Amino acid sequence: GEDVEQSLFLSVREGDSSVINCTYTDSSSTYLYWYKQEPGAGLQLLTYIFSNMDMKQDQRLTVLLNKKDKHLSLRIADTQTGDSAIYFCAGFSGGYNKLIFGAGTRLAVHP
Protein backbone atom coordinates (compact mmCIF):
# COMPACT_ATOMS: atom_id res chain seq x y z
CA GLY A 1 0.00 0.00 0.00
CA GLU A 2 0.85 3.65 -0.04
CA ASP A 3 3.48 4.92 2.35
CA VAL A 4 4.37 8.54 2.98
CA GLU A 5 7.40 9.42 5.08
CA GLN A 6 8.41 12.69 6.65
CA SER A 7 11.07 13.77 9.09
CA LEU A 8 9.44 14.41 12.45
CA PHE A 9 10.99 17.64 13.64
CA LEU A 10 12.52 20.82 12.24
CA SER A 11 13.79 23.83 14.16
CA VAL A 12 14.57 27.13 12.42
CA ARG A 13 15.34 30.70 13.35
CA GLU A 14 12.78 33.38 12.63
CA GLY A 15 13.45 34.93 9.23
CA ASP A 16 15.26 31.89 7.85
CA SER A 17 13.84 29.51 5.25
CA SER A 18 12.33 26.18 6.28
CA VAL A 19 12.39 23.10 4.09
CA ILE A 20 10.12 20.19 4.95
CA ASN A 21 10.68 16.96 3.05
CA CYS A 22 8.40 14.07 2.15
CA THR A 23 8.84 10.82 0.22
CA TYR A 24 6.03 8.65 -1.07
CA THR A 25 5.68 5.25 -2.68
CA ASP A 26 2.48 5.50 -4.75
CA SER A 27 2.87 7.80 -7.75
CA SER A 28 -0.73 7.44 -8.92
CA SER A 29 -2.00 10.52 -7.07
CA THR A 30 -2.71 13.28 -9.59
CA TYR A 31 -2.18 15.93 -6.96
CA LEU A 32 -0.02 16.11 -3.86
CA TYR A 33 -0.96 18.32 -0.95
CA TRP A 34 0.54 20.13 2.00
CA TYR A 35 -1.54 20.70 5.11
CA LYS A 36 -0.80 22.68 8.27
CA GLN A 37 -2.18 21.80 11.71
CA GLU A 38 -1.94 24.18 14.64
CA PRO A 39 -2.49 22.97 18.21
CA GLY A 40 -6.08 22.00 18.87
CA ALA A 41 -7.14 22.71 15.30
CA GLY A 42 -8.07 20.83 12.17
CA LEU A 43 -6.02 20.66 8.99
CA GLN A 44 -5.55 23.75 6.85
CA LEU A 45 -4.85 23.17 3.18
CA LEU A 46 -1.74 25.21 2.36
CA THR A 47 -1.02 24.34 -1.23
CA TYR A 48 -0.95 21.51 -3.72
CA ILE A 49 0.99 20.54 -6.81
CA PHE A 50 -0.14 18.72 -9.91
CA SER A 51 1.90 15.56 -10.45
CA ASN A 52 3.06 16.78 -13.89
CA MET A 53 4.66 19.89 -12.40
CA ASP A 54 8.14 20.23 -10.95
CA MET A 55 7.59 23.39 -8.96
CA LYS A 56 4.82 25.61 -7.71
CA GLN A 57 5.23 28.94 -5.95
CA ASP A 58 2.51 30.49 -3.82
CA GLN A 59 3.64 33.64 -1.97
CA ARG A 60 6.10 32.45 0.71
CA LEU A 61 5.54 28.80 -0.15
CA THR A 62 7.44 26.83 -2.79
CA VAL A 63 6.65 23.21 -3.54
CA LEU A 64 9.19 21.08 -5.36
CA LEU A 65 8.35 17.69 -6.81
CA ASN A 66 10.93 15.15 -7.97
CA LYS A 67 8.84 12.42 -9.60
CA LYS A 68 11.80 10.18 -10.32
CA ASP A 69 12.80 10.03 -6.66
CA LYS A 70 9.19 10.36 -5.41
CA HIS A 71 10.28 13.27 -3.28
CA LEU A 72 8.19 16.30 -2.37
CA SER A 73 9.34 19.33 -0.43
CA LEU A 74 7.79 22.47 0.99
CA ARG A 75 9.92 25.56 1.40
CA ILE A 76 8.67 28.39 3.58
CA ALA A 77 10.54 31.64 3.00
CA ASP A 78 11.05 34.18 5.80
CA THR A 79 9.67 31.79 8.43
CA GLN A 80 7.68 33.49 11.18
CA THR A 81 6.63 32.36 14.65
CA GLY A 82 3.10 31.97 13.31
CA ASP A 83 4.40 29.23 11.03
CA SER A 84 5.07 27.01 14.06
CA ALA A 85 2.81 24.00 13.52
CA ILE A 86 2.76 20.44 12.24
CA TYR A 87 2.98 20.06 8.46
CA PHE A 88 1.60 17.05 6.63
CA CYS A 89 2.15 15.96 3.08
CA ALA A 90 -0.60 13.84 1.53
CA GLY A 91 -1.66 12.16 -1.67
CA PHE A 92 -4.57 10.08 -2.86
CA SER A 93 -4.28 6.32 -2.87
CA GLY A 94 -6.73 3.45 -2.75
CA GLY A 95 -9.93 4.83 -4.22
CA TYR A 96 -12.27 7.75 -3.90
CA ASN A 97 -10.94 10.70 -1.91
CA LYS A 98 -8.76 8.55 0.34
CA LEU A 99 -5.86 10.72 1.40
CA ILE A 100 -2.75 9.07 2.77
CA PHE A 101 -0.81 11.30 5.14
CA GLY A 102 2.73 11.35 6.36
CA ALA A 103 3.34 11.36 10.11
CA GLY A 104 3.77 15.12 10.07
CA THR A 105 6.77 17.39 10.60
CA ARG A 106 6.69 19.59 13.67
CA LEU A 107 8.18 22.98 12.77
CA ALA A 108 9.49 25.06 15.68
CA VAL A 109 10.43 28.67 14.96
CA HIS A 110 12.63 30.41 17.50
CA PRO A 111 13.81 34.02 17.74
Contact positions vs other proteins (CB under 8 A): 30-31, 33, 35, 41-45, 48, 50, 88, 92, 94-104
CB nearer other proteins, residue 4 or residue 79: 4
Q: Minimum Å distance from CB 41 to other proteins?
A: 6
Q: Are 63 and 49 in contact (CB under 8 A)?
A: yes
CB nearer other proteins, residue 10 or residue 36: 36
